A and B are shown apart, each in its own frame.
Chain A
Amino acid sequence: MAWLVVFFAVPVVYIALYSVNVLSFFPGAEGFTFSEWKDFLDGSIFLDKFWTSVWMALTVSAVAVLLAYPVAYFLALCTPKRKYVLLLVMLSPFLISYFLRILAWKVILGDQGVINTFAYWTGLRAQDHPIPQLLYSRFSVVLVLIYVWVPFVALPIFVALENLDRRLLEAAADLGASRWKTFTRVTLPLSVPGVIAAFIFVFIPTVGEYFTPLLVGGASGSMFGNLIADQFGQSLNWQTGSVLSFFLLGVVGILMALFARFLTIRRVATG
């Protein structure tokens, strides 16, 4: 506990102090002010970027959930023995280095990458006319993030479906409901908590994603997280950077408070 307080909670407070300029990177320039906050909230490019990131994160989470749901449903229907083998097959890429999985996509999507050179080679596209927007675009960032998150999304949905009381389905069938109706009226509503948990678990880290856009995003695919990093790296503007990070952490905090019941240990561990 103390560890987290010192190295997790205290840094958050420090960010807050920086953001109102009580602390400053350059000694002597301190002084309490909200000016950076005002600039930020008065419709700056930073705020635009934030909404772009939110939109991208929503796309990623929604597509990932849509892809994962049928898969989780299939796994829940399998015989117990096959179920866990297939689950392991699906999850093992998730255990592989995050970095390497993104790297694979960089190799695949690049102008001199696997897809484009394959197209040149087979004559599908003229030499040196790569497919536009394949790498370094919003498309590539969203694609890679979906790829990274799908197995993780399937897990809470699978657990929710797995814990479903089968007798409810039998009751629905006895009362004359068709399979489709049973699904839409019984199974789907009962799996909603799992879906929400999955959605939140993808959405929150994706809004602040930094590394994926850095690798495959280029200028047009960059996200809010990259802006924050730039303030601390190239521009050496810690105050603006702190405003941005505190804003991000605030949004995350609010979301987590709203969905806190999906984030307890028991929920995460056992569904």
Chain B
Amino acid sequence: MDIAVSKGGLRVLATIFGLLVAFLYLPLAILLIFSFNDNNLPVFPLEGFTTKAYQQFASNPELQAALGTSAKVAAASSAIAVALGILSAIALVRRSFTGKTAISAILISPLVIPYIGLAIGLLIFINSVPFLDPGLRAVIVGHVVISLPYTILILAPRLERIDIRLEEAARDLGAGSFRTFRSITLPLIMPALVSAFLVAFTISFDEIVIASFVVGQDVTFPIYLFSQLRFPSLLPQVIAVAVVVMAASVLVLIGAEVGRRIVERRLGTETGTIGEPVAEPVGGRA
């Protein structure tokens, strides 16, 4: 006997869950099916299996250039976002200062603010200051703003779980604050650092609203895809690319998460040996 729900009730809930998952995956499955369909339009009836669309995009130089551009933008913006994320997370977790709640709310706010507002602000801004022009650098700036909250959200909880006595011990043994950070803190937050980087990378790689306003003449991957949607005959190709990117991003993110858990569990037992058990169970960062 469960006090929260009856057997029949649980079955109803399980059915709802199943339906929701079907609702979530069906569109993606349809995308997958039609990427192999031998027809220039994604229409029924299905015409037979082909990998034509995949071959076409593999030999499309414009597309590859756009992918390359996006990779560069994503690498730069996520590196900056992670660096700033570490600094902000340390400030928020280790220091106490006035207005901490307000500042943490501001740091998190790009998470919920409509991107159009950020995009317009940035567009007006780069038109008013001399050191930024529309282009990839402006896109990088915008992407750092939107991915920073994610990096902080990944890094701060990890930082909180590090035993502060480890850092204190290093200080006592004569290490300066930078040395302490490099030899103690950094290795311990490394797994979280990697997943923060990957999350920031995927966000930037995928982002189109801010990019389309401030990019100027350059073409990032989402902007390229969007421009191709006007030509229906290119749709199968776009879908094929979509499927590949989809598969890649899922693999990377799941891989990162699994790796992070494994490494953290190992680090957890290591720090546990000096007296502090891992406070939170795996998956505490839900």
Q: Which chain A residues have a beta carbon within 8 Å of chain B's beta carbons?
A: 1, 3-4, 7-12, 14-15, 18, 23, 25, 67, 70-71, 73-75, 77, 84, 86-90, 92-93, 95-101, 103-108, 112-114, 117-118, 120-121, 147, 150-151, 155, 158-159, 162, 169-170, 172-173, 179, 182-183, 187, 200-201, 204-205, 207-211, 215, 225, 228-229, 232, 238, 241-242, 245, 248-249, 252, 256, 260, 263-265, 268-271
Contact = CB atoms under 8 A, between A and B. Distances in A.
Nearest to A203: B112
B17 to A, nearest CB: 5
A86 to B, nearest CB: 7
Given A18-B124, A107-B31, A118-B44, A256 B112 contact: yes
A96 B111 CA distance: 17
Given A107-B34, A264-B104, A151 B24 contact: yes
- Interface size class of chain B, counting residues whose CB lies under 8 Å from the partner chain: 35 or more
B206 A99 contact: yes
A74 B27 contact: no
Interface string B117-159: 1101111110110000000000001101100100011001100
Contacts of B152: 265
B109 interface: yes
The 8 A-B pairs with the shortest beta carbon distances in the complex, nearest first, are A208-B114, A11-B121, A104-B27, A74-B13, A117-B43, A11-B125, A210-B116, A117-B44
Interface of B: 2-6, 9-10, 12-14, 16-17, 20-21, 23-25, 27-28, 30-31, 34, 41-45, 80, 84, 88, 91-92, 101, 103-118, 120-125, 127-128, 141-142, 144-145, 148, 152-153, 156-157, 202, 206, 208-209, 213, 222, 225-226, 229, 232, 235, 238-239, 242, 245-246, 249-250, 253-254, 257, 283-286
Contacts of A208: 113-117
A112 B114 contact: no
Given A93-B28, A97-B249, A265-B156, A162 B286 contact: yes
Nearest to B89: A265
A28 to B, nearest CB: 16
Given A4-B107, A104-B31, A232-B120, 9 more contacts: A3-B148, A7-B142, A25-B127, A70-B17, A89-B21, A107-B235, A113-B42, A228-B117, A242-B120
Contacts of A264: 101, 104-105, 108
B286 A67 contact: no
A225 B21 contact: no
Contacts of A74: 10, 13-14, 16-17
Contact of A232 (B209, B213, B253): B213
A211 B209 contact: yes
B209 A265 contact: no
Given A87-B286, A249-B113, A264-B105, A95 B44 contact: no
Contacts of A242: 120, 124
Contacts of B125: 7, 10-11, 14
Given A99-B225, A265-B156, A256 B44 contact: no
A87 B285 CA distance: 12
Given A104-B28, A242-B124, A77 B202 contact: no
B286 A271 contact: yes
A155 to B, nearest CB: 7
A241 B120 CA distance: 9
A248 B13 CA distance: 38
A3 B84 contact: yes
In the complex, which of the residues B41, B45, B116, B128 has the most CB atoms of chain A within 10 Å of its own CB atom? B116
Given A108-B30, A249-B117, A269 B156 contact: yes
16 contacts: A7-B122, A73-B5, A77-B2, A95-B202, A97-B249, A99-B208, A104-B28, A117-B44, A118-B44, A173-B3, A179-B5, A183-B4, A205-B113, A245-B117, A263-B108, A265-B108
Contacts of B17: 70-71, 74-75, 86, 90
Contacts of B128: 14, 23
A173 B2 CA distance: 10
B20 A265 contact: no
A99 B222 contact: yes
Nearest to B246: A96
